[in-house]
Structure 1
Amino acid sequence: MPTPLPAGLTAGTYAIDATHSTASFSVRHAGIAKVRGTIAITSGAVTVGESLDSSSVTAVLDAASVNTGDANRDGHLRSADFWHADERPTWTFTSTAVKADGSDFVVAGDLTINGVTRPVELATEFTGTATDPYGNSRVGFESEVEISRADFGLTWNTALETGGFLVGDKVKIALDISAIKQA
């Protein structure tokens, strides 16, 4: 039996509004603090079917747009040590399944970072609908996932004199999505 849509969510194609959507991340630095940053979502779509099972999501992110608040660190992240942003400027996500998880849902799919594709599952919450001042019908979602840098070939690191490594392996990614229904 198909899984019904959350209350208020209607079938249709919604274009991700890049100016009102964010992708943020956090990773341990020197084992004691977290570095946080953002990466621009440049495009994508949420296609809502008649049920969750027939829905899908795509998103494209710009690796060169990284912003951690430190220009030197951002440059290092764009370099061949990490993201190879000149050679591999985009990250992509393409869903393979959408399924209910209590009152929320999980969006499973293929995440490509640095030219490496791995399956991930995003814990997702439907945050509601709104009509903006321009008459656009909007939907909102929040998603989170934790990935391993090593799974995506992001292995640059340096050992610390006190033990451990400078950059943690686990990266938490959070998405806040606002999407506009297309005619």
Structure 2
Amino acid sequence: MAINWNIDPAHSEIQFKVKHLMITTVTGYFKNFDLNVETENEDFSTIKKLKFTAEVDSIDTNNAQRDAHLKSADFFNAEEHSQLRFVGNKYVADGDDAKLHGELTIKGITRPVTVNVEYGGIVVDPYGQTKAGFTVSGKISRKEFGLTWNAVTEAGSVVVSDEIKIHAEVQLVKQAVIVAAA
């Protein structure tokens, strides 16, 4: 028996942060994303499958000109690479904290990535839906995924840092139980 969990997009957000001119941080979001998790039971240490996707065209940094630049060939090249994808392959829990290991694909380049996961628990909402909550955080090198555009200021500082911080608040909704054929 397996349990399928889908993301509740109204109660979830996928965020990234990057240093600009190495003095401030710019925050961006993916507005369109999907996550499906299959577990053996309600204990998430039994994750069998995990697949996350985000639509590159849904990037929002609260600045239309910057968003267009991020979607261009200088960065994500949304025209050729419309999604980024993370496929989890190992979940190691230690109490309410865990490490999620998987393969992240951005701009056609796949690399292993490990993120930190804080398990918030399971509750039944006022509508009878069983929900599970998580906070996910991690860091990646954008250059490892072919996101290499940069510029240098007159003083020699880079415009965009290599390190990207990832933060997600995720709420999953339990779906119908899947009964495996014998």
Q: Secondary structure at the match of 1:160?
A: coil
Amino acid at match of 1:33: T
Tell me how far 1:19 sits from its aligned partner. 2.5
TM-score by length of 2: 0.89
1:45 counterpart (16, 33, 36): 36
**Aligned pairs (5 A) from 1:31-180:** 31-50=22-41, 52-101=45-94, 103-180=96-173
Spell out, residue by residue over 1:66-123, the C-alpha distance to the aligned partner (whole angstroms, 9 max, x if none): 1111110011001110001111111111011111245411110001111111110010
Q: Secondary structure at the match of 2:58?
A: strand
- Quote the sequence identity (%): 38
Tell me how far 1:45 sits from its aligned partner. 1.0
TM-score by length of 1: 0.89
Tell me how far 1:147 sits from its aligned partner. 0.3
Q: Which moved more, 1:52-61 or 1:163-172?
A: 52-61
Partner of 2:180: none
Spell out, residue by residue over 1:3-41, the C-alpha distance to the aligned partner (whole angstroms, 9 max, x if none): xxxxxxxx7211112222111010000111001110134
Tell me if structure 1 keeps the 8 A contact 2:18–2:26: yes
Aligned residues: 173
Gap runs ≥5 in structure 1: 1-10
Spell out, residue by residue over 1:122-150, the C-alpha distance to the aligned partner (whole angstroms, 9 max, x if none): 10011112222321111111111100011
